[in-house]
């Protein structure tokens, strides 16, 4: 029987700690539901003690998302563990993940505790967590820079205290694959009760080795990998879920292992996380990047046309990616659109289907070829947005080499039409000044990113903006064949999130 490697997804906890990635409760629920469809084994839904908002989001995920374990992070502190239990207690399968640093530098400089005190605290808090729920994970923070002898000692003690999973994190992305694999082997060999708990790994990507280290650990005997969608996370990010899973699947001949992941949901999960966080996936990103299954060189194109396997080691359909073109046109009806969206993995309600259909018809009037990426963009824009407190009615822009750019903007607010004019250093600047004037907001624009969805001069453009206001970050996403309209949509989407949060 093939050994299964468990996938512990921490997109909603460690992933959200990525600078600029801030999610509201509804967005976290959307991602958690997709992670359940992906069939991850554990969803680390957040850090309950961090804020009331985090606690509330974890509770809602625990109450509504079925299938995976729902987990909250907690330091080895009583208040943290009680908050974590409060957050996950209603889950079908609750889990508490508690941690304490074990490296000399962390114990001395951060915790100001002796090793004996750290061990005593770890055992005490694991017992407390165990008194609440059966599934308890313990992490030795900064394990890759810890004294192995101390690791053996504390791991043995927490397993005796009741932990069901021991995590050996490379917290600062310091270790190398051979080194890390040997550490896992040494723990398995030198901890006498290691057979009574799973051994997990959590690798950061500071040296670009997060995935390599995780796979080395799996080869050495680790039974669980902690990772995130698109590899997002603190600093340079975490090991990428899609890369871990597809490496194990594609090189089954080497690993002789499998995961429980429904790989056909990978691409959809990647797009959803990218759209909601505003963190774009680089084109050359393995597995889910725009170029991952693209071929430009003539030799490669010829080879793929003769036999896909000549230059593709994975089938795009394995991750749920389809590159069909001109599937639909302006004469297509709702039934055809619904069928195509379902083939892409989107099962929409009647209301959301109607929203998507109207956007589709508008787009079909503007461009000749409508691809699957166009449809995904429509769904992302129509379904995964904040309530439309302000809605774009019309936008007229005047610009040129010998005139100052100006904008005439008309919005709908609470059923009423409001309009204004503004000038700026460019058409986008003028538009954004007009939006701020009508919405009576004044956020700072941090990022403005344009990305073409498809090729050709009639391609849709995707615009992502990131705004800051009173220390909070708001992301907006918009798409249109007119890049200035897409810019306005993206800015308004972020403003709507800002206003909704304020309300």
Residue 300 within any structural domain of the chain: no
pTM of the complete model: 0.78
**Among 315, 183, 278, 329, which Cα is nearest to 476's?**
278
Last residue of a domain, one of 332, 352, 383: 383
Query: Which is more confidently placed, 486 or 344?
Result: 486
173-193 pLDDT, tens digit each: 999 999 999 999 999 999 999
**Whether 54 and 109 share a structural domain:** yes
Q: Give the model confidence (pLDDT) of 228-269 as tens digits.
A: 999 999 999 999 999 999 999 999 999 999 999 999 999 999
| pLDDT recorded at residue 18 | 81
pLDDT of residue 310: 61
pLDDT in tens, 212-227: 999 999 999 999 999 9
Structure confidence at residue 309 as a pLDDT band (50, 70, 90)? low
Higher pLDDT, 156 or 362: 156
Claim to verify: residue 369 and residue 430 sit in the same structural domain: no
405 SS3 class: strand
Model confidence at 311, pLDDT cuts 50, 70, 90, reads low
pLDDT confidence bin for 70, thresholds 50/70/90? very high
Name the packing angle between helices 266-277 and 25-38 (round to 10°): 170
| Shared-domain flag, residues 362 and 378 | yes
Of 335, 353, 383, the one marking the end of a domain is: 383
Query: Looking at the structure, do residues 411 and 476 belong to the same domain, yes or no?
Result: yes
- For residue 88, tell me if it sits in a domain: yes
Q: Is the pLDDT of residue 297 over 50?
A: no
CATH number reported for the structural domain that contains residue 492 in this entry: 3.30.160.270
How do residues 37-65 score in pLDDT, each as one tens digit?
Answer: 999 999 999 999 999 999 999 999 999 99
Using DSSP's 3-state secondary structure scheme, residue 150 falls into helix
For the chain, the average pLDDT equals 89
Cα gap 61→8, rounded to integer Å:
16
Closest CA to 465 of 438, 434, 496, 501: 496
Assign 328 a pLDDT band (cuts: 50, 70, 90). low
Choose between 89 and 503: higher pLDDT: 89
pLDDT of residue 345: 67
Tell me the CATH number at 269: 3.20.20.70
Same-domain pairing of 378 and 440: no
Beta-bridged to residue 408, according to DSSP, are 396, 421
Q: Is the pLDDT of residue 382 over 90?
A: no
Is residue 137's pLDDT more than 90?
yes
CB 275 within 8 A of CB 243: no
Kindly indicate the confidence band of residue 326, based on its pLDDT and cuts at 50, 70 and 90.
very low
Number of domains in the chain: 3
| 82 pLDDT above the threshold of 80 | yes
Among residues 449, 488, 445, the alpha carbon closest in space to that of 469 is found at 445
In terms of DSSP bridges, do strands 94-101 and 416-423 run parallel, antiparallel, or are they unpaired?
Answer: unpaired
Are both 253 and 198 inside the same structural domain? yes
Q: What is the average per-residue pLDDT within 309-319?
A: 73
Q: Where are the beta strands (DSSP E) in 357-440?
A: 390-400, 403-413, 416-423
Examine residue 398 and state whether it is found in any structural domain, yes or no.
Answer: yes
Q: Are 472 and 496 in contact (CB under 8 A)?
A: no
Mean pLDDT to the nearest integer, 108-118: 95
Domain shared by 98 and 223, yes or no = yes
Does the residue 476 lie in any domain? yes
- pLDDT at position 227: 98
| Closest alpha carbon to 165 in 66, 255, 96, 82 | 96
pLDDT at residue 164 tops 60? yes
Length of the chain measured in residues: 503
Quick check: is 157 in a domain?
yes
- Within-domain flag for 99: yes
User: Are the C-beta atoms of 480 and 378 separated by less than 8 Å?
Assistant: no
Q: Are residues 181 and 272 in the same domain?
A: yes
What is the pLDDT at residue 299? 42
Mean pLDDT of 291-296: 59
pLDDT at 353 (0 to 100) = 87
Domain boundary among 277, 312, 330: 277
pLDDT of amino acid 153? 98
Q: Which residue has the higher pLDDT, 32 or 307?
A: 32
Question: Higher pLDDT residue, 485 or 384?
Answer: 485
Position 295 confidence tier, pLDDT thresholds 50, 70, 90: very low
Look at 290 and 256; give whichever has higher pLDDT. Answer: 256
In a domain, 362, yes or no: yes
Alpha-carbon span 103 to 109, nearest angstrom:
10
Domain range enclosing 262? 3-277
Q: Is the pLDDT of residue 103 over 80?
A: yes
More confident position, 477 or 157: 157
What mean pLDDT is predicted for residues 442-455? 86
* Higher per-residue confidence, 213 vs 298: 213
Smallest CA-to-CA distance from 238 within 202, 273, 272 is with 202
Measure the CA–CA gap between 345 and 376, rounded to whole angstroms.
10
Shared domain check, 417 and 374? no
Task: Give yes or no: residues 374 and 416 share one domain.
Answer: no
Q: Please indicate, yes or no, if residue 309 is contained in any of the structural domains.
A: no
335 CB-contact burial (10 Å; exposed 0-12 / middle 13-18 / buried 19+): exposed
What confidence score (pLDDT) does residue 301 get? 38
* Whole-number pLDDT of residue 293: 66
Whether residues 338 and 416 share a domain: the answer is no
Mean pLDDT of 117-122: 97
Q: What is the mean pLDDT of residues 272-276?
A: 91
Same-domain check for residues 331 and 394? no
What Rg value do the Cα atoms of the chain yield, rounded?
25
Instruction: Give the confidence band of 381 by pLDDT, cuts at 50, 70, 90.
Output: low
């Amino acid at each position: 029987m093939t050994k299964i490697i468990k996938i512990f997804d921490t997109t909603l906890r460690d992933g959200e700690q990525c600078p600029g990635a801030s999610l509201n409760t509804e967005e976290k629920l959307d991602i958690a539901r997709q992670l359940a469809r992906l069939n991850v084994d554990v969803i680390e839904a957040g850090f309950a003690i961090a804020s009331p908002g985090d606690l509330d989001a974890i509770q809602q995920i625990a109450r509504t998302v079925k299938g995976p374990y729902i987990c909250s992070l907690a330091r080895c502190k009583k208040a943290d563990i009680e908050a974590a239990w409060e957050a996950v207690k209603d889950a079908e399968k609750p889990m508490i993940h508690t941690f304490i640093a074990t490296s000399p530098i962390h114990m001395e400089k951060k915790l100001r505790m002796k090793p004996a005190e750290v061990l005593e605290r770890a055992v005490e808090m694991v017992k407390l967590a165990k008194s609440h729920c059966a599934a308890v994970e313990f992490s030795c923070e900064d394990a890759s820079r810890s004294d192995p002898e101390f690791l053996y000692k504390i791991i043995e003690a927490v397993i005796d205290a009741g932990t069901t999973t021991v995590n050996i994190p490379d917290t600062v992305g310091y270790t190398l694959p051979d080194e890390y694999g040997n550490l896992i082997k040494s723990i398995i060999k030198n901890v006498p009760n290691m057979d009574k708990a799973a051994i997990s790994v959590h690798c950061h990507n500071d040296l670009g080795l997060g995935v390599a280290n995780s796979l080395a650990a799996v080869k050495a005997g680790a039974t669980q990998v902690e990772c995130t969608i698109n590899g997002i996370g603190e600093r340079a990010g975490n090991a990428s879920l899609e890369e871990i899973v597809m490496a194990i699947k594609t090189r089954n001949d080497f690993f002789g292992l499998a995961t429980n992941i429904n790989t056909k949901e990978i691409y959809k999960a990647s797009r959803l996380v990218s759209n909601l966080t505003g963190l774009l996936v680089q084109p050359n990103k393995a597995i889910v990047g725009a170029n991952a299954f693209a071929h430009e060189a003539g030799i490669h194109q010829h080879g793929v046309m003769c036999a896909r396997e000549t230059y593709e080691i994975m089938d795009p359909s394995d991750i749920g990616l389809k590159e069909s073109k001109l599937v639909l046109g302006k004469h297509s009806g709702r039934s055809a659109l619904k069928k195509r969206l379902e083939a892409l993995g989107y099962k929409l309600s009647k209301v959301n289907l109607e929203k998507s259909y109207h956007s589709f018809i508008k787009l079909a009037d503007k461009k000749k070829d409508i691809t699957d990426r166009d449809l995904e963009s429509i769904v992302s824009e129509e379904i995964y947005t904040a309530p439309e407190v302000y809605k774009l009615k019309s936008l007229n822009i005047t610009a040129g080499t010998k005139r100052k750019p100006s904008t005439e903007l008309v919005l709908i607010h609470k059923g009423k039409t409001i309009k204004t004019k503004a000038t700026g250093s460019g058409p986008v600047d003028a538009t954004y000044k007009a939006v701020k004037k009508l919405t009576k907001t004044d956020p700072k624009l941090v990022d403005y990113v344009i990305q073409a969805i498809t090729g050709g001069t009639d391609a849709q453009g995707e615009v992502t903006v990131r705004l800051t206001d009173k220390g909070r970050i708001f992301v907006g996403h918009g798409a249109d064949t007119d890049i200035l309209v897409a810019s306005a949509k993206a800015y308004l989407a972020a403003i709507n999130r800002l206003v909704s949060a304020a309300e």
